[in-house]
Chains A and B, each alone.
Chain A
């Protein structure tokens, strides 16, 4: 367990140091006339110090009461995440309805293993209904795409 904590603290510390280095490139000003870099420098320094403290703390063994970390199905998470990234980038080129239909089909058929017919019908219906509700009824802006939807 301590190994996990140490890893997390180390990653955060690296981020803090990079942020500090970047913040020093901004104009610091003086205490009487603080510039744009004043607060970021102070924050990044404080953050890095706290990360060092976390790193030191992680060396101490944890109390036995800490619950074990449940196993996660990472492939499913990664698949869903990848699909969402592709979806975000495809939204404007292909439009909301087509992209949403494809995304939902992937979720229903590939991740949830529903039958083809149910997955197809469910995705199409949901994509159309959300479009009607949000775009037509609530007048929310959605990416249009080449087919106007």
Chain B
């Protein structure tokens, strides 16, 4: 199926009323939770997973994806108006976006964030359509050693790219994999670490763990700290950026789109890191870098484009390899599996309606988001004024409903609460939850692939180094591990590279 055919076929799927509705619900909920600080796309997607049981696989994935990129739009609103990131990928937007709002330019800041996101979203959808089909044919040649190599690279990238201590991230990734071994052994089906418990016999659930680590712990933290809510109280007028704004933003949006998309494809990056890189890049390229931090529109346009393009880019490994490059994609992978669909190289042949329908729905969804976030911005601003004292009990009850409805097992709620406490402690002691969850999801795949590889090779680890694709993955992983050792002397030699000042 060539591109144009795929495009028209995809649109015919994504414009079916049920799928259109799923797309709308997804982007609407996405914007909603993006605007609200304290609940992000990961928790929301796992929360809504049980509701998709009754839907077709295509509609479910369309809705789930909509939540993710919708949250990218919504998050910027809170960053600009309240100076709190509504969503982690909008942290950078706070810096200049809030300053713009204080100077009475909240309108153009919101406008450029939404329009920049739309342009980047469009770009990344086109990128997926061009890149995904050829990658699929490469992925068809993957066996267990290649999959293991890819997973190893993924884990390495996740820990290397973490904001905090890398050692702590390694510890969390190993812990995640260890937690993933609870339940039945994937090859011999004998029980491990279950201690006769039925709940543990099925393995720890992904939904309770995510809701605990990302939902409950966040609420507990906010409860303990108290949330300050100061919505910037000026009337927002003139959402359209003026000619000068556009002139300044065109370059950042273009660079942010390409950067975000390409980085998003790589394992372990997600939507957050590209925003930091885009901000640093724009600051370095700017003629007057001193304007940054004082309301420079470039500092909003670039990162906002980057995070949206990254959401599109990160769909590529999932759709072509069946590999989740970040936590959000791990949840999406879970959604695929619940519906009995295995994403990967065969997806485009076996389920073209999902493959093309989901991609084109992202385009439809981006158009919906433009309407939701510009003319309807007042709605979200009002939402920001709902006191946290009313909001947090609702979030907690929704978390409980989400977990219970998935398994009808009260003990899964207890698992969620325990992981809520663990998540709070992890935040307090500087451990990140993302490596843990990603490793938990992919750990099972990693175990299967390494054990199958060893069975194939009769116990020789050399199988990982004699197959070209696997070798490339593992070599890249080793280079990434060695980077902290190699990089400082190289930097000293080059000297011309100025010290990093992303903060």
Binding site for B on A (CB under 8 A): 4-5, 8, 12, 19, 22-23, 26-27, 30-40, 43-44, 46-47, 50-51, 53-54, 57, 69-70, 72-74, 76-77, 80-81, 84-85, 87-89, 91-92, 100, 103-104, 107-108, 111-112, 114, 122, 126, 130, 134, 138-143
Asked if A47 and B175 sit within 8 Å, CB to CB, the answer is yes
What is the CB-to-nearest-CB distance from A136 to chain B, in angstroms, rounded to a whole number?
13
What is the CB-to-nearest-CB distance from B441 to chain A, in angstroms, rounded to a whole number?
15
13 other A-B residue contacts (CB within 8 Å) besides A34-B455, A50-B167:
A22-B193, A33-B459, A36-B185, A36-B192, A43-B178, A44-B178, A47-B178, A51-B171, A54-B168, A84-B420, A112-B389, A126-B397, A130-B397
What is the CB-to-nearest-CB distance from B311 to chain A, in angstroms, rounded to a whole number?
26
Given contacts A72-B225, A77-B424, A80-B223, contact A50 B451 (CB under 8 A): no
Q: Considering only CB atoms, which chain A residue lies closest to B411 in the complex?
A: A88
Q: Considering only CB atoms, which chain A residue lies closest to B420 in the complex?
A: A81
Can you give 29 A-B contacts (C-beta < 8 A)?
A5-B430, A8-B429, A8-B431, A34-B451, A34-B455, A35-B188, A36-B187, A36-B190, A40-B193, A46-B174, A47-B171, A47-B175, A51-B171, A54-B167, A57-B167, A72-B224, A73-B225, A77-B220, A80-B219, A81-B420, A88-B410, A88-B413, A103-B396, A103-B397, A104-B393, A107-B393, A108-B393, A112-B389, A140-B405
What is the CB-to-nearest-CB distance from B207 to chain A, in angstroms, rounded to a whole number?
13
- The CA-CA distance from A84 to B410 in the complex, in Å, is 12
Beta-carbon contacts under 8 Å, B366-402 to A: 389-390, 392-394, 396-398, 400-401
- The CA-CA distance from A39 to B175 in the complex, in Å, is 12
Question: Any chain A CB within 8 A of the CB of B447?
Answer: yes
Residues of chain A lying within 8 A (CB to CB) of residue B192: 26, 36-37, 40
- The CA-CA distance from A26 to B220 in the complex, in Å, is 37
- The CA-CA distance from A125 to B187 in the complex, in Å, is 49
Question: Any chain A CB within 8 A of the CB of B206?
Answer: no
- The CA-CA distance from A47 to B50 in the complex, in Å, is 33
Question: Any chain A CB within 8 A of the CB of B417?
Answer: yes
Question: Any chain A CB within 8 A of the CB of B478?
Answer: no
What is the CB-to-nearest-CB distance from B332 to chain A, in angstroms, rounded to a whole number?
20
Asked if A76 and B393 sit within 8 Å, CB to CB, the answer is no
- The CA-CA distance from A80 to B321 in the complex, in Å, is 42
Asked if B410 and A92 sit within 8 Å, CB to CB, the answer is yes
Asked if B168 and A88 sit within 8 Å, CB to CB, the answer is no
Q: Considering only CB atoms, which chain A residue lies closest to B51 in the complex?
A: A138
Asked if B455 and A32 sit within 8 Å, CB to CB, the answer is yes
Q: Considering only CB atoms, which chain A residue lies closest to B409 in the complex?
A: A92
Residues of chain B lying within 8 A (CB to CB) of residue A76: 223-224
Q: Considering only CB atoms, which chain B residue lies closest to A39 in the complex?
A: B447
What is the CB-to-nearest-CB distance from A28 to chain B, in angstroms, rounded to a whole number?
12
Question: Any chain A CB within 8 A of the CB of B269?
Answer: no
Q: Considering only CB atoms, which chain B residue lies closest to A37 in the complex?
A: B192
Asked if B167 and A53 sit within 8 Å, CB to CB, the answer is yes
Residues of chain B lying within 8 A (CB to CB) of residue A51: 171
Asked if A73 and B223 sit within 8 Å, CB to CB, the answer is yes
What is the CB-to-nearest-CB distance from B213 to chain A, in angstroms, rounded to a whole number?
15
Question: Any chain A CB within 8 A of the CB of B263?
Answer: no
What is the CB-to-nearest-CB distance from B113 to chain A, in angstroms, rounded to a whole number?
27
- The CA-CA distance from A77 to B56 in the complex, in Å, is 40
Residues of chain A lying within 8 A (CB to CB) of residue B420: 81, 84
Given contacts A4-B429, A26-B192, A112-B389, contact A84 B225 (CB under 8 A): no
Residues of chain A lying within 8 A (CB to CB) of residue B188: 35-36
Asked if B220 and A81 sit within 8 Å, CB to CB, the answer is yes
Residues of chain B lying within 8 A (CB to CB) of residue A40: 178, 181, 192-193
Asked if B405 and A134 sit within 8 Å, CB to CB, the answer is yes
Beta-carbon contacts under 8 Å, B95-140 to A: none
- The CA-CA distance from A101 to B50 in the complex, in Å, is 23
Residues of chain A lying within 8 A (CB to CB) of residue B197: none
Q: Considering only CB atoms, which chain B residue lies closest to A40 in the complex?
A: B181
> Of A32, A72, A92, which contacts B459 at CB under 8 A?
A32
- The CA-CA distance from A103 to B50 in the complex, in Å, is 23
What is the CB-to-nearest-CB distance from B382 to chain A, in angstroms, rounded to a whole number?
18
Asked if A87 and B190 sit within 8 Å, CB to CB, the answer is no
- The CA-CA distance from A130 to B187 in the complex, in Å, is 41
Residues of chain B lying within 8 A (CB to CB) of residue A5: 429-430
- The CA-CA distance from A27 to B185 in the complex, in Å, is 11
Asked if B221 and A72 sit within 8 Å, CB to CB, the answer is yes
Q: Considering only CB atoms, which chain A residue lies closest to B187 in the complex?
A: A36
Residues of chain B lying within 8 A (CB to CB) of residue A87: 400
- The CA-CA distance from A107 to B388 in the complex, in Å, is 12
Given contacts A43-B177, A76-B224, A77-B424, contact A142 B458 (CB under 8 A): no
Residues of chain B lying within 8 A (CB to CB) of residue A108: 389-390, 393
What is the CB-to-nearest-CB distance from B189 to chain A, in angstroms, rounded to a whole number?
9
- The CA-CA distance from A8 to B246 in the complex, in Å, is 50
Residues of chain B lying within 8 A (CB to CB) of residue A103: 393, 396-397
Asked if B224 and A47 sit within 8 Å, CB to CB, the answer is no
> Of B171, B177, B219, B405, which contacts A50 at CB under 8 A?
B171
What is the CB-to-nearest-CB distance from A13 to chain B, in angstroms, rounded to a whole number?
10
